[in-house]
Chains A and B, each alone.
Chain A
Amino acid sequence: MLKLRGRVDVVNATRCNPSLANITRNPKLPTPLRRKTALLLKGADLAWLTPEFVGQLRMGAPFAALLFCGGETELAAVEGIARELHDVYLLPDDYAYLDEGDILRLNPAGESISSVFRKAAPNNTILLTERCNHLCLMCSQPPKSADDSWLLDEAFELVRMIPLDTENIGFSGGEPTLYGERFIELVEATKLALPHTSLDILSNGRSFKNEAFAAKLGRVKHPALQLGIPVYSDDPVRHDYVVQAQGAFDETIQGILNLKRYGVRVEIRVVVHQQTLPRLVQTCEFITRNLLFVDHVALMGLEITGFTRANLEILWADPQSYRDTLSEAIGVLRANGMNCSVYNHQLCLVNKDIEPVYRKSISDWKNEYLPQCDGCTRKSDCGGFFSTQVMFKHSEHVRPFQTPASA
């Protein structure tokens, strides 16, 4: 798992407010670009720090920050040099993945950094808030109540910094729509800043029970917007239980209806676990019968993080034990012509009939494999595990394939 954020040593900070910075590895970056750019020197680059080079750094137009990244001894060797300079961040080599074009949040007062955009990642997700009106049993991002609207402020800035040729970005929470109007404004700003970038937003959809709110989002006419909304059961009681919020089912369903009424693409997301499995097939039947017009349905494996770890006993279900149920559920969706996918599962734990809708869906920074996967002939087709699954809980039935798919 990549370390995306954490505490680091900051030397001679000249600013105290958090800020966003693009990363460059070019010390000769034209001066007009330096104000919002941090210079990254990692590993072998640190050898560049000759007195002459340091002199140039001190004399030239300053970068937003200097990022020295390396192993303990490498960092120890340049610590003295850092003291001669301003705004230096000493990054352990956990951050060696950082590269040209990435975007960091620098927090000098908090002595921390956070990677908010990685150019090499196919999907970058921007966290807009940690506040939420759900308390899902398996929440991977347990909600907090503190005002964190600075995240939203920062997102407005961030979408203008992300490269124009970025294929996809995501917004998540918490529940991003709790910002109301400001949420719509952000989608509008994103459309203007990144007109060719598809935008996936994770929301529980409840805010859109308000038809006018759904209409507003529809009127933004974002060309490639999709809302990912969870429906955990066809049984309102069970859905409300999974999200720990009374009345949530009705608001979410009403929200989906309103969004579709105003032409917004909607993906229904169902996390498969002990509490959703008893009615997984019925839930898919319900979707095909009542919500056939949604654009995509994703059946998703459990990430072993956040609340899931606390509730593991009532959530964990070995994919081996439900592989036939998963096939049946997908069978219902596919037979009804629905666009659907299975996310976050391992190839050796799903039946063959799942393969056409099987996706390698786990974000690169938290994607791993087990040691026994090394011998698997189909490893490159397999989505693997969440790092947290490898660490805390995974199926006992993972078996490497011995022959290629065709055999």
Chain B
Amino acid sequence: MSRFQPITFFNRHPAEEQAQYKLLPFRFTPLDDERYVATNLAGEYRLIEREPLQKLVEGKLSATDPRYVDLRARHFLTDVHSKMAADLLAIKVRTRHERLSEWTGLHMFVLTLRCEHACPYCQVSRQSEDKESFDMSREHATKALALALRSPNPAIKLEFQGGESFLNFDLMKFIVLRAKEENAKLPVPKDLAFVAATNLAVVTDEMLDFCGKHDVGISTSLDGPRELHNKNRPRPGGDSYERTIAGIQKVRQKLGRTSASALMTTTAASLPHVKEIINEYLEQEFHGIFLRPLSPYGFAMKTKFYRAYDAARWLQFYDEGLDYIIELNRQGVEFLEYYSATILAKMLTSRDPGYVDLMSPAGIGIGGVVYNYDGTVYAGDEARMLAEMGDATFKLGTVNDSFETLFTNETLLQALDESFAYSAPMCHDCAFEPWCGADPVFHWGQQKDFVGRKPDSEFCQRNMHIFKGLIRRMEEDTFVRQLFTRWANLC
């Protein structure tokens, strides 16, 4: 007789009997008429048809069903054969939330509200007057910097915003140099990074030389081809596009090929042109694009730009763009869509890339914080935009307050607590919750509620559609699955 036992010997469920198993926490949401997306505690997903799903939850799934083996290996259920699920799930969940323990890493400085552009969708209500009253003072900057360096996070990113951040270049210089100096004095210096958000229109060689010398990255705006970009982003002379493109080239020459990134904003005029917009990014040698809807803040609300299209129309734009990008990759052109990549990282890895709008607990305050030009401290970019519209709910205090006072702000803690998606109504039962975010500022702005009624939430509508779309695309096409896995790991 053989010394070796058959596989059935190691399966401790007798074949004729029902498997004895325990369900682990998991959730399911319909994908289409037949299939459900089921996610485990760590956000790993499996598609499952209605009937086996029913069997699974009733404890009637057979151990010989191949789905059973899959679901056990993915920690949807556990049985006598392995006790590792709890440990492995714990590691994965902990990994996903590990950045929470590090606290705030992104510190945004609004150097000035002045801007020479006059974009009708501007989310921060720029000031055209050449008045220094909209500039941040050195005193405020010094205090803000001290607060930033107080964060326990070992990696601190200082982001310069506007208005047009380079209109207050002297202050940018001051902060960069002082940050380096102060950081060097810390018992354990932090990993410091700088980035400037700019339209590049007023940037000079001297400024870029400084950025090159001190590793200040550049983040600019590029809305698409010349005509669209200049229409979206008016400035005196109508040459925003020309200045941006020239600026990008100069940045790359002086700071390195990967030092410039760009963001686009979708206006009603953009909607029919997603391919042209993507082609523009290709032509400018970017490796990807962030297809971004308008946010309901600032001028975008005042000028009714935000309401010029609804979530469904934007999703159509996004879908068309994403499919085009997939086709590009199929032809061997490597190019990615950053929002999808962010979500895919959450779907297909145990990491969370930490994109502020898609975090739960929410990213407000603990994902990023804004020091406004006037010394006010806000719980994030959207929080200050909301404040510019007269709603200071997410004001944490001022740079004169202590780090402890600012970050234990009652409203911040309440908003974080209430909006936590895992315990929010509807989100709690949603299979997509592990990939989604809380975004209390959006819901407060739209519904005057930190949590928000999800059936009325465009945030929910938009993300649900994207989650399902990404899954559908990779389930029906191995190429897309492999492409998406790569994206997930680039993000």
Contacts and interface: CB of A to CB of B under 8 A. Distances in A.
Interface in A248-276: 249-250, 253-254, 257, 275
A240 B10 contact: yes
A137 B10 CA distance: 14
A234 B72 CA distance: 9
Nearest to A337: B489
B246 interface: no
Given A250-B82, A250-B83, A335-B486, A238 B7 contact: yes
B72 A235 contact: yes
Interface residues of B, number: 30
B81 A254 contact: no
Contacts of B91: 257, 290
B350 A292 contact: yes
A208 to B, nearest CB: 14
A237 B349 contact: no
B15 interface: no
A331 interface: yes
A98 to B, nearest CB: 36
Q: Which of B3, B81, B92 has the most CB of A within 10 A?
A: B81
A236 interface: yes
B84 A254 contact: yes
B392 interface: no
Interface string A198-240: 0000000000000000000000000000000000001111101
Contacts of B44: 289
Interface in B1-28: 3-7, 9-11
B88 interface: yes
A289 B4 contact: no
Contacts of A135: 3-4
Contacts of B456: none
B69 interface: yes
B81 A331 contact: no
Contacts of A289: 42, 44, 92, 349-350
B184 to A, nearest CB: 30
B485 interface: yes
A236 B81 contact: yes
Contacts of B73: 234-235, 279, 282, 286
B70 interface: yes
A336 B349 contact: yes
A336 B5 contact: no
A266 to B, nearest CB: 15
B350 A336 contact: no
A244 B485 contact: no
A246 B12 CA distance: 10
Nearest to A242: B7
B477 interface: no
A277 interface: no
A257 B92 CA distance: 12
Contacts of B84: 236, 249-250, 253-254
Nearest to B95: A292
B87 interface: yes
B485 A336 contact: yes
Interface string B63-84: 0000001101100000001111
A288 B72 CA distance: 16
A292 B489 CA distance: 12
Nearest to A238: B7
B82 A246 contact: no
Contacts of B88: 253, 290
Given A135-B4, A237-B81, A241-B5, A331 B489 contact: no
Q: Most chain-A CB neighbours within 10 Å: which of B3, B7, B478? A: B7
Q: Interface centre among B73, B82, B92, B485, by most A CB within 10 Å? A: B73
Contacts of B7: 237-238, 241, 275
A31 interface: no
Contacts of B3: 135, 244
B5 A244 contact: yes
B54 interface: no
Contact of A246 (B10, B92, B349): B10
Given A234-B73, A286-B73, A289-B92, A332 B485 contact: yes
Contacts of B488: 335-336
Nearest to A338: B489
A311 interface: yes
Interface in B44-102: 44, 69-70, 72-73, 81-84, 87-88, 91-92
Contacts of A307: 4
A135 B9 CA distance: 14
A328 B479 CA distance: 10
Contacts of A292: 349-350
A405 to B, nearest CB: 20
B4 A311 contact: yes
B82 A236 contact: yes
Contacts of B81: 236-237, 240, 249
Interface string A292-317: 10000000000000010001000000
A293 to B, nearest CB: 9
For A275, A311, A336, the residue with the greatest tally of chain B CB atoms inside 10 Å of its CB is: A336
Contacts of A246: 10
A404 B84 CA distance: 48
B461 interface: no
B9 to A, nearest CB: 8
26 contacts: A135-B3, A236-B81, A236-B82, A236-B84, A237-B11, A237-B69, A238-B7, A241-B5, A249-B81, A249-B82, A249-B84, A250-B82, A250-B84, A253-B84, A275-B7, A286-B73, A289-B349, A290-B88, A290-B350, A292-B350, A331-B482, A335-B486, A335-B488, A336-B349, A336-B488, A337-B489
Given A241-B5, A249-B82, A337-B489, 16 more contacts: A135-B3, A135-B4, A236-B82, A237-B7, A237-B11, A237-B69, A241-B10, A244-B5, A246-B10, A250-B83, A257-B91, A282-B70, A288-B349, A290-B88, A290-B350, A335-B486
Q: Shortest 5 CB-CB distances between A and B: which pairs?
A: A335-B485, A234-B73, A236-B82, A241-B7, A236-B81
